[in-house]
Amino acid sequence: MSDTIKTPIETDNGSVQARLDINNLEKALKKRDIQGTSRRKKMVWLLIILLIAAAAGFGVYKKFAPSESSEFLTTVVTKSTITNSIEATGTLNPVKSSEMGFKNDDTITAINVAVGDHVKTGQVLAQQETTTLQTSLQQAQSTVEQDQLSVKTSSLNLESNRRTWERQQKLFESGAISQSDLDTAQDNFKKSQLELETAQAKLANDQLKVEQARSDLSGATLIAPFDGIIGAVNGQVGQINGINSSTSTLISIISEDLQISALINEADISQIKVGQDVEFTTTTYSNKTFKGKVLRISPQAQTVSNIQYYPVLISCIDPEHQLLAGMSVSVKIVINQKQDVAAIPMMAVTYAQSYIKSLPAGDKTNLSKTSRTGVRPDARKAESDDSDGSEIKGGQPGKVLVLQNNKPVIKTVVLGLSDGSNYEVIQGLKIGEKVIVGSSQADDQSASGGSDSSSNSNSNKSNRQNQPGGMGGPPPGGF
């Protein structure tokens, strides 16, 4: 005789629930042939039955347990860094740069560097054929030596003629010579003065030629003017290079230190100050943020597409020298920043406004009487006066919905700094409180994007509709 295990089935609101009666199972077990099996098999069967019973009980609990789900999307008030900044694009440029080439057209005899080489101040980079230049220098020096002899000869003649004139004056006074003899002596003296001045002028002119020839000779050797990196080499040994060549620049050298040249919209330039902190990123190192400071603001605007922009020079802190000249960067000039402050997504404020507006008048009255603890009197006064965002001391009033017992409760808060995605909360909320940022209904899913944004430090984009500036603004400019 075999007994069956009965599984009662109950229906509640159209759903079928299966429950196992453990006592019935035990009775059935005693009546079956299992009693005759080994102790080990009995334990296995008992364990299986207990697991089945536990699973069924858990299912029943899940069915009838109170639901914790909510129709609202929430986030918690967290500590965050709020940064208000002006955004722009810019270009990395070397702090120093030099384009070098030979002055005189002649053959290149040596190029000692290649693109990318690091060089030191005074290092010889390239050399040119110097035979012609050395000859020119020697000729100029020889001419100067001849000029120096002429000056000495003229000086002796002048001294001799001066003495003759002085003697003639004494003889004329004694009546020993005529006036014409005195005039002749005087003319010879003046003539020797002019000859000396001419010789001295020629000597000075020829000395300048010597300096020019010496400069030309030194110009046949290119020397690094500062520590830097070779950026370009536009020639090779055997070619003729000089100021009249098709490519007059033979070698370009740039400093390792870089700086950023950015264009700031005239609408934002009043907020930019020398010394402000700057953060910037580049596509090459998209996951790394570099630092800098505002160095200089040009007083002269540049016009791009009929919009006025002001060039701003920014330092670049890059101790590892990862960045390269010419890279485009996205710049954030920090106007104000607060760290470790209570923060909520801006979505929490905008959703609260739309939610409250959608309520019937009676519900609005009830909501207005809910919790407002922790908000100072001036904030409540601002709310009662319907100031709607007018500034108060330390911030501005706002409303958010806090989830309490699965119900939305309005709270008036004092909001501070904004970064375009989050608000600093000065008063009215505590760290860890749940604020509503949207509805979980399908038609409101798009409002959930800011549910966890308060944990991030985002920057306020200074973009304006139909106004250039910020990301996607004008091409990078510079000084």
Model confidence pLDDT, tens digit, residues 40-71: 676 777 778 777 877 766 665 555 544 445 68
For residues 348 and 446, membership in a common domain is answered with: yes
Say if CB 145 and CB 165 are below 8 A apart: no
Distance CA 422, CA 418 (A): 6
With tokens 């003065």, the residue in question is 193
Q: Above 80 in pLDDT, residue 423?
A: yes
The residue from 219, 249, 274 where one domain ends is 219
Distance CA 52, CA 445 (A): 39
Task: Look at residue 69 and tell me if it is in a domain.
Answer: no
For residues 356 and 447, membership in a common domain is answered with: yes
Task: Look at residue 378 and tell me if it is in a domain.
Answer: yes
Distance CA 345, CA 461 (A): 16
The residue from 64, 80, 106 where one domain ends is 64
Q: What pLDDT band is residue 26 in, cutting at 50, 70 and 90? A: low
For residues 138 and 48, membership in a common domain is answered with: no
Distance CA 433, CA 343 (A): 11
Query: Could you give phi then psi for residue 282, rounded to 5 degrees?
Result: -135, 155
For residues 45 and 137, membership in a common domain is answered with: no
> What does the pLDDT read at residue 105?
87
Residue 302 bridge partners (DSSP)? 309
Say if CB 414 and CB 399 are below 8 A apart: no
Task: Look at residue 80 and tell me if it is in a domain.
Answer: no
For residues 57 and 134, membership in a common domain is answered with: no
For residues 40 and 134, membership in a common domain is answered with: no
Return the amino acid letter for 394: G
What's the CA angle centered on 284, arms 298 and 264, to 5 degrees?
Answer: 20
* Tally of domains within the chain: 3
For residues 344 and 447, membership in a common domain is answered with: yes
The residue from 38, 64, 90 where one domain ends is 64
Query: Could you give phi then psi for residue 66, rounded to 5 degrees?
Result: -60, 140
Tell me the pLDDT tens digit for each residue of 151-185. Answer: 999 999 999 999 999 999 999 888 888 999 889 99
Distance CA 388, CA 356 (A): 13
Q: What pLDDT band is residue 313 in, cutting at 50, 70 and 90? A: very high
Distance CA 195, CA 197 (A): 5
Least confident of 18-27, 228-237, 388-397: 18-27
Task: Look at residue 422 and tell me if it is in a domain.
Answer: yes
Cβ-based neighbour number of residue 37 at 10 Å: 12
Distance CA 174, CA 456 (A): 112
Rounded to the nearest 10 degrees, what angle do helices 179-218 and 131-174 cross at? 160
Distance CA 320, CA 288 (A): 13
Q: Which domain holds residue 56?
A: 9-64
Task: Look at residue 239 and tell me if it is in a domain.
Answer: no
Query: Could you give phi then psi for residue 186, rounded to 5 degrees?
Result: -65, -40
Question: Which of these, 265, 259, 266, lies nearest to 280 by C-alpha position?
Answer: 259
CA atoms within 13 A on the CB side of 419: 26
Task: Look at residue 39 and tell me if it is in a domain.
Answer: yes
> DSSP label at 373?
T
Token pair of 167, please? Answer: 């003697």
Say if CB 462 and CB 85 are below 8 A apart: yes
DSSP symbols for 16-67: EEE---HHHHHHHHHHSGGGGS-HHHHHHHHHHHHHHHHHHHHHHHHHHSPP
Tell me the pLDDT tens digit for each residue of 228-239. Answer: 999 999 989 988
> What does the pLDDT read at residue 52?
81
Say if CB 386 and CB 421 are below 8 A apart: no
What's the CA angle centered on 244, arms 239 and 245, to 5 degrees?
Answer: 30
Average pLDDT over all residues of the chain: 79
Distance CA 275, CA 294 (A): 5
Average of per-residue pLDDT across 278-294? 93
> What is the share, in percent, of the chain residues with pLDDT greater than 70?
73
Of the two residues 405 and 27, the one the predictor is more confident about is 405
Average of per-residue pLDDT across 246-261? 90
Token pair of 403, please? Answer: 């989830």
Task: Look at residue 252 and tell me if it is in a domain.
Answer: no
Task: Look at residue 141 and tell me if it is in a domain.
Answer: yes
Question: Which of these, 283, 276, 286, lies nearest to 313 by C-alpha position?
Answer: 276
